[in-house]
């Protein structure tokens, strides 16, 4: 595992680096926030260990800048500032863990290893596609075969719910809960009516249906007919 250590205290840096290297890790070191940010943006690190009180660019600012640059490497703050407010600041700045000095190296190593075992964050999906149907969640826009389709807010939510479950049968109850936030059956045709309207906009005139009724079960959206 490759670890970035940003620590200006030479004795602490040597102690931590030696321990991590003895545990089989590769350690890159920086003594200030500017160099730390430069190394962080180079990528390739599994975990960053960052002191808060470092020169040129303090640890909080360094991590904020790294997060703003899209760097998702897990960060553990290692610092003498141990108050509750300090820990909250560290976590809100983009830190994943916070260990106060003085510390036991065995605990630091365990926390570093725990951070490295976390699954990587997945980028949030902003565009959904089923065949030639596309939904842009940021622009709140829907197109099919390049043609813009105007949807009402509830129709948009209904289509999003279906598209996120492409190929899966979605029941009436699931739609009532997921689209209308009903946790009971209102005994109305609200689902059927909205699905019918959505079909008229999504499928009519495009030659191939995407939204299908599964008799006795619900609905499914799929591109393979």
The structure tokens listed for 174 are 């699931």
Return the ∠ at Cα 146 (arms to 145 and 151), rounded to 5°.
Answer: 95
Rounded mean pLDDT of the chain? Answer: 90
Mean pLDDT value of segment 178-182 = 90
**For residue 186, is pLDDT > 90?**
no
Instruction: State the CB neighbour count (10 A cutoff) for residue 75.
Output: 29
Does residue 64 sit within a domain? Answer: yes
121: pLDDT strictly greater than 80: no
Q: Is the pLDDT of residue 49 over 60?
A: yes
Q: Are residues 89 and 151 in the same domain?
A: no
What is the bridge-based pairing of β-strands 147-149 and 211-214? unpaired
pLDDT more than 90, % of the chain: 68
At 86-98, the pLDDT tens digits run 788 888 888 999 9
Question: What share of the chain in percent tops pLDDT 70?
Answer: 96
| Same domain, residue pair 22 and 111 | yes
Beta bridge mates, 219: 170, 213
Q: How confident is the model at residue 146 (pLDDT cuts 50, 70, 90)?
A: very high
β-pairing verdict for 75-79 and 47-50: parallel
pLDDT band at 124 (very low <50, low <70, confident <90, very high): low
Distance between CA atoms of residues 96 and 90, nearest Å: 8
Show the tokens assigned to 95. 């830190």
For 67-116, what is each residue's pLDDT tens digit?
A: 888 888 999 998 887 777 878 888 888 899 999 888 899 999 999 999 88
- The predicted pLDDT at position 76 comes to 95
Query: Is 122 inside any structural domain?
Result: no
Residues 14 and 56 in one domain: yes
Q: Which secondary structure element, helix H or strand E, spans residue 33, and what is its range?
A: helix 33-41
- How far is Cα 213 from Cα 215, in angstroms, rounded to an integer? 6
Are 59 and 90 contained in the same domain? Answer: yes
Under 8 Å between Cβ of 210 and 220: no
Strand, helix or coil for residue 158: helix
In a domain, 70, yes or no: yes
> Looking at residues 61-70, what average pLDDT do you find?
90
Mean pLDDT on 186-208: 93
CB pairs under 8 A, 24+ apart, for 151-158? 151/198, 151/201, 154/179, 154/180, 154/194, 155/194, 155/197, 155/198, 155/201, 158/194, 158/195, 158/198
Q: Who has greater pLDDT, 42 or 21?
A: 21
Task: Say whether both 106 and 11 belong to one domain.
Answer: yes
Q: What is the CATH number of the domain that holds 200?
A: 1.10.10.10
Last residue of a domain, which of 91, 117, 143?
117
**More confident position, 27 or 126:** 27
């Amino acid at each position: 595992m490759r670890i970035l250590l940003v620590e200006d205290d030479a004795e602490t840096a040597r102690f931590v680096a030696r321990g991590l290297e003895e545990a089989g890790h590769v350690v890159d070191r920086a003594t200030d926030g500017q160099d730390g940010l430069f190394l962080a943006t180079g990528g390739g690190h599994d975990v960053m260990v960052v002191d808060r009180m470092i020169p040129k660019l303090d640890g909080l600012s360094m991590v904020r800048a790294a997060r703003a640059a899209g760097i998702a490497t897990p960060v553990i703050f290692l610092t003498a500032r141990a108050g509750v407010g300090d820990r909250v600041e560290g976590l809100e700045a983009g830190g994943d863990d916070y260990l106060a000095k003085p510390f036991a190296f065995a605990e630091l190593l365990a926390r570093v290893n725990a951070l490295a075992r976390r699954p990587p964050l997945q980028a949030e999906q902003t565009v959904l596609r089923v065949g030639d149907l596309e939904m842009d969640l940021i622009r709140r826009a829907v197109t099919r075969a390049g043609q813009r389709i105007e949807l009402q807010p509830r129709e948009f939510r209904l289509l999003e719910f279906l598209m996120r479950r492409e190929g899966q049968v979605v029941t009436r109850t699931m739609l009532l809960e997921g689209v209308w936030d009903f946790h009971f059956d209102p005994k109305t045709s609200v689902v059927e009516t909205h699905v019918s309207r959505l079909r008229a906009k999504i499928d009519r005139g495009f030659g191939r249906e995407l939204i299908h009724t599964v008799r006795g079960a619900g609905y499914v959206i799929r591109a393979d007919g």
